[in-house]
Amino acid sequence: MAYELSKLRNIGISAHIDSGKTTLTERILFFCDKIHAIHEVRGKDGVGATMDSMELEKERGITIASAATSVQWKDTPINIIDTPGHVDFTIEVERSLRVLDGGILVLCSVAGVQSQSITVDRQLKRYKVPRVAFVNKCDRTGANPYKVKDQLREKLNLNAVMIQVPIGLEEKHEGAIDLVEMKAYYFDADERHGVRVEDIPADLLDEANEKREELLDAASMFDDNIMELMMEGEDVPSDMLNAAIRKGVLALELCPVFVGSAYKNKGVQALLDGVTNYLPCPTDVENVALDLDNEEKEVVLESKDDAKTVALGFKLEDGQFGQLTYVRVYQGMLKKGGELINVRTQKKFKVGRLVRMHSNNMEDITEAQAGDIVALFGVECASGDTFCHPDLNYSLTSMYVPNAVISLSINPVDKSASDKMAKALNRFTKEDPTFRTFVDKESNETIISGMGELHLEVYIERMKREYGAVVETGAPQVAYRETITQPAEFNYTHKKQSGGSGQYGRVAGIMEPNTEENYTFVNEIKGGSIPTEYIPSCDKGFQDSMTKGHLIGFPVEGIKMTINDGQYHQVDSSDKAFQIAARGAFKEAYMKANPCILEPIMKVTLEGPAEFQGNLFGLVNQRRGMILGSSEEGSSCVVEAEVPLSEMFGFSTVLRSSTQGKAEFSMEVAKYAPVPKGISDELMRKYEEEKKSNN
């Protein structure tokens, strides 16, 4: 299906959890004739919302993976990505925003701007995504769209302006007045295209005129002609006003606010008109790639079908027909049978099956135009890979990927679960860069890490449902380190005689704390007391010793090893003998050098309503934390602190309950610091017990 590029819209729907985002998407599908029945989000009718295709999503009533779908509104083709609103699924939001041209920010008319709305807005700003706002749930008790508009200005610093005035609120909500056309729109709930257009009711005329003046004032900043017409008392034509609003939106300097109730089918059609009128088409947005053959020089991509193809694989899924890769085409065309190269792996491949997605249903197509979002089958790739015409070597800067903050050990319950778990982990790590896995060499346990407890819970549940892999989970674990606090000398001899050639090597020198580097080796041997060929053996023996400390078995860091003397035997000395001697010397010096345990200290940023600032301080202080500073912005506050990672497990749950779910936190490793003596003694006691039980 060919279409004018200027008509195409690639949009994302982002919001705080429970703002009605998936319900809104469901209604958009309904009004665009994509579905013929509407289902509730939590799947109470046994079906669940169309966009929530994962069983787990229908049950929990939260959107976990952003499903893509294509619809047509009047003469405008629209690709929609439905994104998760939960903080643990931020990577899905980041991914979809990377490939979108415009966004709809959904807000609840009662709760207003919430913590995840702030996070989502920050992400929209990071990727410079123009947006419109939809104030949903205007039929709820306590609905106040004007309060939400003010919060958009105060909390998100957006130039928000009403484009509609609600006709009635709470149970009296019937529709909205369009401030561009100055007409009243009534939405008949049960009809697919039931919109009645009437004159503005007399009791709302003054309010409508006042709000239109505000809209004209905001729009006049983008068109001097509007200013002149206003000064002359002339009427401003709708086309001129729409063009000025669009200009402001594309410049990220205006955010039109729509009102309605998706659940009651009110306001959705007007919002779709707003998407058409105000959000950008692919040619309105500048996308750049890095030319890897020219010192990563930035190249502006052209949304033209006749240019050489550049596309981004932004999401992977395992479908019943193999791996499905969601792709945004930035330049040129994707054609079935065409040849492309994966820039990361430098492997060429032919485009096999090409499909357009509708939630979890698909339509086979033969080509995709520049600017389109489609999916490919059978391409070996990872999330964030760039696909190019073989003549190009361009890379689209990959999505920002936050660091994982929580780890758990998982153990399969039996051998068959072990094989299934391996398959599941292989798939999950490919499709989600924030989900990581490795095997702990000591315990031989598989460790998974991710963005939060719910994030890991969902993957454990998916392992069970999709692969039949039942696993037991351990307690969350901290990555401790060990180091020394004072210098210590060593003089160690390794001697072994047991018939035939023996083993002999003596190593002497000094071990010192090293603040500059993790490990430094200095050779001060004079006169050949250790032959040159055995010096690397000593170095290797020391480095091997650092992989596992003698206090609690964690890696050692911050050590300088200097060898200044030694002895060898003409027959019995060998590479192996000096490695063993070095390991013995390391242990001897280590225990004399006053070793200590280091723990990761996290820089934690807490954000929430100012009324909860005291609670936030309290939560930090209860966790051996140190407050670095705090600031207030409008009705929000930000607290910055340093807290040991070991004290942060279960924190997201505690934070939500302490702040009515209105605060959020982010954290990253700031430094490693010594563990207090009481905790250090307890860690060593547990380590010794584990060693005994393993022997």
Q: What pLDDT, on the 0 to 100 scale, is given for residue 35?
A: 55
Radius of gyration of the chain (CA): 31
Flag whether 691 is marked binding.
no
Query: What is the reported pLDDT for 483?
Result: 95
The verdict on whether residue 614 carries a ligand-binding annotation is no
- Burial class, 292, CB count within 10 angstroms (exposed 0-12 / middle 13-18 / buried 19+): middle
The CA-atom distances, in angstroms, between 237 and each of 225, 253, 497 are 11, 22, 101
Q: Give the separation between CA 170 and CA 139, rounded to whole angstroms.
A: 4
Query: Is 494 labelled as part of a ligand binding site?
Result: no
Q: Do 437 and 390 share a structural domain?
A: no
Same domain as 636, residue 562: no
Exposure string over 25-45, b if 16+ CB within 10 A, otherwise e: bbbbbbbbebbeebbbbebee
Query: What is the per-residue pLDDT for 441?
Result: 67
Tell whether 170 is covered by a domain. Answer: yes
**pLDDT of res. 398:** 56
User: 305: annotated binding-site residue?
Assistant: no
Q: Give the total number of structural domains in the chain.
A: 5
Per-residue confidence (pLDDT) for residue 41, from 0 to 100: 47
Strand partners, 388: 310, 341
Domain stops at, among 557, 577, 593: 593
How high is the pLDDT of residue 56? 52
Strand 76-82 to strand 67-73: parallel, antiparallel, or no bridges (unpaired)?
A: antiparallel
Give 232-285 pLDDT, tens digit per residue: 888 889 999 999 999 999 999 999 999 988 888 888 889 999 999 999 998 888
The reply, when asked if residue 19 is annotated as ligand binding, is: yes
Residue-wise pLDDT for 430-442, tens only, equals: 777 788 888 876 5
Give every residue of the chain whose pLDDT is below 70, as ranges.
Answer: 1-3, 16-19, 21, 33-67, 82-96, 115-116, 189-194, 319-320, 359-360, 397-405, 441-443, 452-453, 498-500, 633-634, 668, 695
Same-domain pairing of 210 and 350: no
Domain containing residue 638: CATH number: 3.30.70.240
Q: Residue 18 annotated as binding?
A: yes
Residue 673: per-residue pLDDT: 93
The answer as to whether 694 is a domain residue is no
22 is in an annotated binding site: yes
**Domain around 138:** 5-279
Provide the terminal-to-terminal Cα distance of the chain, rounded to the nearest Å: 68
pLDDT for the residue numbered 575: 92
Give the pLDDT of residue 64: 42
- Give the pLDDT of residue 340: 92
DSSP string, 251-275: TT--EEEEE-BTTTTBSHHHHHHHH
Residue 581: its pLDDT value, please? 96
pLDDT of residue 66: 47
Tell me if 224 is assigned to a ligand binding site: no
Does the residue 648 lie in any domain?
yes
Task: Please tell me whether residues 162 and 26 are part of one structural domain.
Answer: yes
Pairwise CA distance, residues 665 & 556, whole Å:
30
Asked if residue 21 belongs to a known ligand binding site, the reply is yes
Please tell me the predicted confidence (pLDDT) of residue 83: 65
Pair (305, 415) in one structural domain: no
Same domain, yes or no, for 456 and 504? Answer: no
Check whether 20 is labelled as a binding-site residue.
yes
Q: What is the CATH number of the domain that holds 461?
A: 3.30.70.870
15 labeled part of a ligand binding site: yes
Asked if 410 and 501 sit in the same domain, the reply is: no
Residue 84 marked in a binding site: yes
